[in-house]
Structure 1
């Protein structure tokens, strides 16, 4: 298995990287500043033969192109892409930047660029490698916050809207790539104890990662374009 993971330096992305490596798979772990990612560097020392660390800013076209070139220098195919990189503007702070009265243009644009547009452009760039792989799959980490059906609060405005936009982008992508033997699905990983989710969260990232890897293994063509939890249960749009 050859997996490409964005946002691999912490939280769910780091756990996905670790578990794929423990299984014996090859991992391309992308993050903005891999040289500063202490835990990723430790994994690289342990799995130097199967872990490739890549710098990647999903909001930068040149950075995406360079990452694709770096992967292509090592392998001619990918089997799994996990679009995990994401931001939650002002996560963990006590301010109210995602609440009505405190909303700003810059926060909105940052959330949309990283959480929605970035994953689409990374997917687009890696499609040739995924087509060459074994049952190429794209799993994009969404959120229950991106469900229009479930939305019952105002805050967080930007994060919720960006995940809803991600859902539409990847649903659109699924409609195009399904007849090419590829699968695109959206995954709600649960409320995890990470830097983004905070200490009050109920979900261990290791459990979510385990479920997401299992989900990637078991995906069938008829599930293309679906929105599911890390346990494979449907999430309403």
Structure 2
């Protein structure tokens, strides 16, 4: 399998990269500064023949175009895209900046640009490669925070809104790519112990990664456009 992963330098993205490599797959691991991503560089030494490290800022059209060219230099097709890159401006889930009274225009735009618009434009740019692959699948990492049904708090405003926007973008995409034989789904990875999730989170990224890889393997056409947990259960919109 040929897999493209954004935000691959830490947390869930790093774990997905590691587990796909351990399975024997080829991985295109994208992050903003791969030369400074210590753990990715270590994996590159171990899996030099199957790991390609790419610089990618999903908020930059030029960066997305350059990443696509780098992939095309190595392969003529992709089988899986995992839109994992995301931001939670400032310190992560314990920070006050996404609470009423602290909200700013700049934080809102950054969060929406990276968490919602970026994944859509990455998917659009990689579409020809995914169409050339085996049962091309697009898994975009969303969050239970993006569920309108589950939303019962104010904080975090921007993060929740960005994930709800991502859900709509990828649901829209699913309606079109389904006719091309591709599958696009949203995945809630659970509350993980990462820089973004914080120390109080209940889950290890390795467990989520295992579930997401299994989910990608087992996806069927009738699940196109679904919002699922990492264990394959439906999440309410």
TM-score per shorter chain, which class? Answer: over 0.9
Q: Which moved more, 1:82-91 or 1:12-21?
A: 82-91
Task: Report the CA distance between 1:91 and its aligned residue.
Answer: 3.0
Structure 2's unaligned 5+ residue stretches are none
Aligned to 2:143: 143
Task: Report the CA distance between 1:187 and its aligned residue.
Answer: 0.0
The alpha-carbon distance between structure 1 residues 95 and 16, as it changes in their structure 2 partners (threshold 3 A), is closer
1:101-145 CA deviation, whole Å, 9 max, x = no partner? Answer: 100000000000000000000000000000000000000000000
3-state DSSP of counterpart to 1:45: helix
3-state DSSP of counterpart to 1:210: helix
Rounded Cα–Cα distance in structure 2 between residues aligned with 1:87 and 1:53: 20
Aligned to 1:6: 6
Task: Report the CA distance between 1:92 and its aligned residue.
Answer: 3.7
Task: Report the CA distance between 1:93 and its aligned residue.
Answer: 7.5
Rounded Cα–Cα distance in structure 1 between residues aligned with 2:221 and 2:162: 26
The alpha-carbon distance between structure 1 residues 229 and 93, as it changes in their structure 2 partners (threshold 3 A), is closer
Rounded Cα–Cα distance in structure 2 between residues aligned with 1:213 and 1:126: 19
Aligned to 1:155: 155
Structure 1's unaligned 5+ residue stretches are none
Rounded Cα–Cα distance in structure 2 between residues aligned with 1:29 and 1:92: 23
Rounded Cα–Cα distance in structure 2 between residues aligned with 1:213 and 1:146: 22
1:50 maps onto 2:50 in alignment: yes
1:66 maps onto 2:71 in alignment: no
Contact 2:81 2:123 in 1 (8 A): yes
3-state DSSP of counterpart to 1:202: coil
TM-score relative to the length of structure 1: 0.99
Aligned to 1:210: 210
Rounded Cα–Cα distance in structure 2 between residues aligned with 1:92 and 1:107: 12
TM-score relative to the length of structure 2: 0.99
| RMSD of equivalent CA atoms | 0.8
Aligned to 1:89: 89
3-state DSSP of counterpart to 1:174: helix
Rounded Cα–Cα distance in structure 2 between residues aligned with 1:95 and 1:182: 38
Rounded Cα–Cα distance in structure 1 between residues aligned with 2:63 and 2:123: 13
Task: Report the CA distance between 1:95 and its aligned residue.
Answer: 4.5
